[in-house]
Amino acid sequence: MDAAPTLDADAVRVWIGQLAGTGSITEDAKRIELIGELETLTRAAAAAQAALSADFDASQRQQQADAGVRPGRRHRGIADQIALARKESPHRGRQHLGLAKVLVAEMPHTWAAFRAGRITEYRATALVRETACLSLEDRQTVDHAVAGDPDALEGYSDRVVEAEVRKLAARLDARSVAKRRRRAESERRVTVRPAPDVMTYVTALLPVAQGVAVYAALKAEADRLVASGDPRSRGQIMPDTLVGRVTGAPSIDGRPVVPVTIDLVMTDRALFAGATDSAQVAGFGAIPAEVARGLVADLLDAGTATWLRRLYTSPATGELVAMDARSRRFPGSSGTSSIFATSSAARRGATHRSGTETTSSQWRTVARRAPWAGRGSARAATTRSRRPAGERDRGRVPATWSRPGRRLDSPTARPHHLRWLLATRHSSSVVPAGGS
């Protein structure tokens, strides 16, 4: 029997080219059939990525061991290279690698179903996550009970599978499950991330009793206001109530105007002359000029103190070159709030670069203060950069380094384009957050 041909990157590229020909199918039955088979292929491809990731990890660790690298350092850069290959963040690269290693080594039934395209990567991740607190023996018991029958596993919903895994885990090792719950409660937190259409997701990770109590209180207040004739919907009243109670903000027509510091960067043309230049909110990204003007107007209407700081940028590059050392009170404003551009927000916002400000690879800048003499401007040249640990780790990977490059589609562009040269002799180009 002839051996199956070896799959390589060139063969996959041929497949990708063939997928562009799906528009020639004219029968609906064949369209549905192909959609189903492509879904199976997508799942199997994710499993193939996991297998390759696990093999790459083992190979790299062995090569580093042969090179005399200490055991505690042999993992460095492996997940980062996987992340670059998958065009994702280093954090996601570590998640993908961790999932691959557990599936291959500890959960054979789940792994077999995943490789056959019977389950999605999300479901495989859920099985790994919900059994993380168990011993290897108990984890494999759950793996056999839940994934031993791939037909049944494929037919269940994600919610049913997760509930069944939790029930089995609690039955096998109640103490470990209780310990995990206590650890989860200690990791309660609030996070914020951008949402479409100039909105944000504010997420509070709470113990179940507290989370349900918060929602019930907001719903009760919304029901009361709707019954009293408030024109807003329940869905609108609940977030308004949340913001008002958390911040103590004054409200206009029931909508709170937040009395806290917001780093907003916008051009004088957009603020005073009605120009359409986009503004930047630190921690969020670009917002339309009309929205920025409305934000300033709402704060002024609410009587909150609003401050301005002038920023000076290069007309040719948009790079920040100088700024006022002190903020100035906006005419007619009072109170305790402020809207101003810190040097960090200014550098990120004034350059008008693409991308959000919340990715793990963002570069942060810290400005040194300058005296008021000479109109008190702090030059951009007096700033220094810090990089998060994920960026610094790449520089310590053996035979892995980076250099600034120019965008291939714009030979005259500024060198904010980074090109990573990996230990495998491959190269990968990335644009840091805030880069063009």
pLDDT of residue 383: 40
Q: Which of 104, 124, 125 is nearest to 114 (CA)?
A: 124
Radius of gyration in angstroms for the set of CA atoms belonging to the chain, rounded to a whole number: 27
pLDDT of residue 350: 40
pLDDT digits (tens, 9 = 90+) for 131-163: 999 999 999 999 999 999 999 999 999 999 999
pLDDT of residue 420: 52
pLDDT digits (tens, 9 = 90+) for 205-241: 999 999 999 999 999 999 999 999 889 999 999 999 9
Give the residue, 135 or 251, on which the prediction is more confident. 135
pLDDT of residue 144: 95
- Burial of 146 by CB count in 10 Å (0-12 exposed, 13-18 middle, 19+ buried)? buried
> Can you tell me the distance from the alpha carbon of 169 to that of 127, in angstroms, rounded to the nearest whole number?
11
CA dihedral of residues 117, 121, 122, 124 (deg, nearest 10): 80
> Can you tell me the distance from the alpha carbon of 418 to that of 214, in angstroms, rounded to the nearest whole number?
45
144: CB partners within 8 A, 6+ apart = 109
| Residues 12-38: b if buried by 16+ CB within 10 A, e if exposed | eeeeeeeeeeeeeeeeeeeeeeeeeee
CA distances from 254 to 216, 233, 248 (A): 20, 12, 13
pLDDT of residue 371: 39
CA distances from 244 to 84, 239, 419 (A): 42, 8, 46
Q: At what angle do helices 121-130 and 158-172 cross, to 10 degrees?
A: 20
* Residue 187 pLDDT class (50, 70, 90 cuts): very high
pLDDT at residue 342 is higher than 60: no
pLDDT of residue 2: 54
DSSP 377: B
User: What's the sign of the alpha-carbon dihedral 361, 261, 280, 241?
Assistant: positive
> Can you tell me the distance from the alpha carbon of 169 to that of 171, in angstroms, rounded to the nearest whole number?
5
75: CB partners within 8 A, 6+ apart = 57, 61
pLDDT of residue 198: 79
pLDDT digits (tens, 9 = 90+) for 22-37: 777 888 998 999 999 9
pLDDT of residue 266: 77
Among 106-115, 257-266, 359-368, 398-407, where is mean pLDDT lowest? Answer: 359-368
Summarize the confidence of residues 47-60 as an average pLDDT: 95
pLDDT at residue 164 is higher than 90: yes
CB neighbourhood size of 418 (10 A): 18
Mean pLDDT of the chain: 76
Taking 3-state DSSP, the helix, strand and coil percentages for the chain, each rounded to the nearest 5, stand at 50, 15, 35
Q: Which of 430, 277, 278 is nearest to 362 (CA)?
A: 430
CA distances from 160 to 123, 164, 167, 316 (A): 11, 6, 11, 58
